[in-house]
Amino acid sequence: MSKILLLQGNQAVVEGAIAAGVKFFGGYPITPSTEVAESLAEKLPKVGGKFIQMEDEIASMGAIIGASLTGKKVMTATSGPGFSLKQELIGYACMAEIPLVIVNVQRVGPSTGQPTSPSQGDIMQARWGTHGDHWLIALTPASVPECFDLTLRAYALSEKYRVPVILLMDEVIGHMREKIELPDNYDEIPQAERKLPTCPPEEFKAYATDESLVPAMPPFGSGYRWHVTGLVHDETGFPKGTPAATLAATNRQHDKLYNNLDDIVEVENYEMDDAEYAIVAFGGAARAAYEAVDMARAKGMKVGLVRPITIWPFAEKQMKALAGKVKHIMVHELNYGQYVLEVERAVAGKVPVTLFAKYDNEPASPAEVFAKMEEAFK
């Protein structure tokens, strides 16, 4: 049995978290993500979980890293200013390979910016906000039902690949309310499982891997002892800074994701079958793009929408294929131009790439997007 509700994107993330089996949230509320913390504070204790409001965003990351080490599924939620603070420990979670999910409901920045206004200005920060070579996953929902689905997927990917997953939302999707159909109870939703060691504790090496390149991760307190560090380490988990150990750790952290891009990278195509022109848009910006495509089709223009659902890793293969299919690509994003840089790199001059950047606090309307497409696709 299921129920039909009118929920905000942020509330659908909370439902997704409960359904995914999240048992710990550490956070510091910030607009426009506050509803995630507010609602989890109410719901987590009812499912045997813990909610803690930490003193700041850095401590929140520390709390969820610690909780994840005990074997629990964990979440924190924030917006731009808090996301900046979390970067240090996002790097730690990449290095130590700690599964966790960070919700970032983007708002206008930099700094305090505009707390209640939409933006997609953290695209590059989600990828490169912490220092050093590192790899992680970022997913961007474009509807309230997708907020629920992608929260579940964030845990599936995070647990499978032992990597931080960023649910990269924006204010448009986080705050709008839309119809969603949810199961009455979440008991039958498959739970993402963390790989456990098969050897006895005395033989356990914390970062030894098989061909999956993902090490097993026993929960703290289960008898398996291991060392967790942000220093470069070898398979024992203890610091080792030799060139060989550094090379091995770096390559493995890359390859465990990039050998599996077909599993990780998801892109939706809308009206693309016979398209000669394409608009690339994601999250809140995609909402106007769907309608703009409908308007263009009504006028006989063969336009389609390509909507990246996985923002990072970048949809390299899909964008290269797109460059071989259409005559012209427009990228529409709610920032000065970030994702477009990656599209241009992949397209490599094969077809023109036009940017429609919107960064004035408000999403572009379908009519505005259509007008820009008409102008570009002459």
Partner 1 sequence: MKKELRLSGTGGQGLILAGIILAEAALLDGKLAIQSQSYGPEARGGASKSEVIISDQAIHFPKVTNPGLLLAMSQEAAQKYSHDLTSSGILVTDSLFVKTLPAHTGKVYELPITHTAKEVLGKALFANIIALGAIVQLTGIVSEESIIKAVLNRVPKGTEEVNKKAIQLGMELVK
Residue 116 C-beta: closest distance to partner 1, Å: 6
Question: For partner 1, which residue of 17, 95, 150, 172 counts as binding (CB under 8 A)?
Answer: 172
Nearer to partner 1 by C-beta: 6 or 47? 6
Backbone torsions φ then ψ of 191, nearest 5 degrees: -100, 130
Q: What is the spatial distance between Cα 173 and Cα 170, in angstroms, rounded to a whole number?
A: 6
2 binding partner 1? (CB under 8 A): no
Q: Confirm if 63 and 70 have CB atoms less than 8 A apart.
A: no
Residue 248 neighbours by CB under 8 Å, 6+ apart:
234
Question: Which range, of 173-181, 212-220, 308-316, 370-378, touches partner 1 by CB under 8 A?
Answer: 173-181
Question: For partner 1, which residue of 31, 236, 246, 250 counts as binding (CB under 8 A)?
Answer: 31
Question: For partner 1, which residue of 42, 229, 365, 375 counts as binding (CB under 8 A)?
Answer: 365
176 binding partner 1? (CB under 8 A): yes
Question: For partner 1, which residue of 115, 219, 230, 337 counts as binding (CB under 8 A)?
Answer: 115
Residue 51 C-beta: closest distance to partner 1, Å: 22
Q: Return the residues of window 286-305 that contact partner 1 according to CB under 8 A.
A: 287-288, 290-291
Report the candidate in 367, 365, 358, 362 with the shortest Cα–Cα distance to residue 340: 358
Backbone torsions φ then ψ of 361, nearest 5 degrees: 90, -15
Q: What burial letters (b/e) apply to 138-158, b meaning 16+ CB within 10 Å? A: bbbbbbbbbbbbbbbbbbbbb
Question: For partner 1, which residue of 2, 6, 47, 251 counts as binding (CB under 8 A)?
Answer: 6
Site string for partner 1, 117-136 (x = CB under 8 A): x-------------------
Nearer to partner 1 by C-beta: 38 or 291? 291
Q: Confirm if 82 and 54 have CB atoms less than 8 A apart.
A: no
Q: What is the spatial distance between Cα 273 and Cα 262, in angstroms, rounded to a whole number?
A: 20
| CB-count burial class (<10 Å; 0-12, 13-18, 19+) for 359 | middle
360 binding partner 1? (CB under 8 A): no
Residue 294 C-beta: closest distance to partner 1, Å: 8
Per CB under 8 A, residues contacting partner 1 are 4, 6, 31, 115-117, 172, 175-179, 287-288, 290-291, 362-363, 365-367
